[in-house]
Amino acid sequence: MLRRPRRNRQSAAIRGMAAETHLTVQHLVFPLFVLDGANIRTEIHSLPGIFRFSPDNLFREIESCMELGLRNFVVFPAVADGLKDTTATYSYSPDNFYLKMARAIKSRFPECCLISDVAMDPYSSDGHDGLVRNGEIVNDDSLPILAQMSVAQAEAGFDLLGPSDMMDGRVGFIRQELDKQGFTKTGILAYTAKYASAMYGPFRDALDSAPKSGDKKSYQMNPANKREALIEAELDTLEGADMLMVKPALHYLDVIHLLKENSRLPIAAYHVSGECAMLRAACNNGWLDFGRAMPEALLSIRRTNADVILTYFAKEFAMMFPGGV
């Protein structure tokens, strides 16, 4: 045998030189859940190790992440039921604790990258990402609401806005409204190929944001589809998105790879709550070794050439692998 692939695997030093993929904390975004109040830190039962924080504790959490070199955060608000209505008015209310929190975080930690969630579901009494009329999720009348929410978030200091709602035309609508109001520096991380997935369960537990009726299949993508992701990518790109996202990640590695091959924009992958919960549950049961299974999962996503990975394991990765893998 002239060719023996094992020669390049025989020591850690040689494996290091031959490694095709690297993952460090600069690629990672840590999703965080925030709720109004003080001194609150409650664990999400379906996502052990992840908490809902009141703003005071969230600051501490962000500070400890920053010390580990983890500086990208996407924050989701858990809104009290009494503040929800059919048109999500709380999303842009001047009293909104999520917007106040963003202002405080960006003034305390100006060097972090703070990413928002743009969708109606955390604020909607219907629990849908768009406006519900006669049982239907209407598209065009949702856009002004999403744009108003976006402007309020830009004003609060978010660096990137994350439209996760999957309404048609929302990226362009939001971009134009932001520019009109002078927020030309605020970026858009578009949830481009967001699938109607069973993997969002723990997230909806965390925010109590499950749809009150029906499902999200009329706006989120069919898991059977792949070429359709290219249409979404083309539209979001033309409409001014700064980065494109695929969500979930591990079940959709082919889609991440496809967008990476077909776009010049940075591509993000969202390793969502259910995907993290599955791995965590197996590890907590002693069936898998977290220290090996977790970096392997993240490296698999990175191997598609994804530029950015959103994962609930970001902080643990930063603690366990300070130099990356």
Binding positions for ligand PBG, rule: CB under 6 A: 117, 119, 121, 129, 164-165, 200, 203-204, 216, 272-273
Minimum CB separation from ligand PBG for residue 14, in Å? 37
Here the tokens at position 77 are 């608000």
Nearer to ligand PBG, 36 or 129 (CB): 129
Minimum CB separation from ligand PBG for residue 194, in Å? 7
Half-sphere exposure at residue 277, Cβ-oriented, CA atoms within 13 angstroms: 20
Minimum CB separation from ligand PBG for residue 121, in Å? 5
Nearer to ligand PBG, 10 or 218 (CB): 218
Minimum CB separation from ligand PBG for residue 127, in Å? 9
CA-to-CA dists, residue 311 to 17, 46, 78, 302, angstroms: 27, 15, 19, 12
> How is 2-20 classified by DSSP, letter by letter?
---GGGGGSSHHHHHHH--
Half-sphere exposure at residue 298, Cβ-oriented, CA atoms within 13 angstroms: 29
Nearer to ligand PBG, 15 or 219 (CB): 219
Minimum CB separation from ligand PBG for residue 158, in Å? 15
Q: Which helix (H) or strand (E) holds 301?
A: helix 290-302
Nearer to ligand PBG, 56 or 61 (CB): 61
Minimum CB separation from ligand PBG for residue 292, in Å? 23
With H, G, I as helix, E, B as strand and everything else as coil, classify residue 56: helix
Nearer to ligand PBG, 106 or 204 (CB): 204
Nearer to ligand PBG, 129 or 232 (CB): 129
Given phi > 0 = left and psi -120 to 50 = alpha, else beta, which region is 211? Answer: beta
Q: 174 near 146, Cβ under 8 Å?
A: yes
Positive or negative torsion for Cα 196, 198, 199, 203 = positive
Q: 207 near 77, Cβ under 8 Å?
A: yes
Active site residues: 194, 247
Q: Which helix (H) or strand (E) holds 146?
A: helix 143-156
Q: Which residues contact 183 (CB under 8 A, 6 or more apart)?
A: 151, 154, 155
Q: Using the CB atoms, write b or e for 112-121: b if 16+ within 10 Å.
A: bbbbbbbbbb
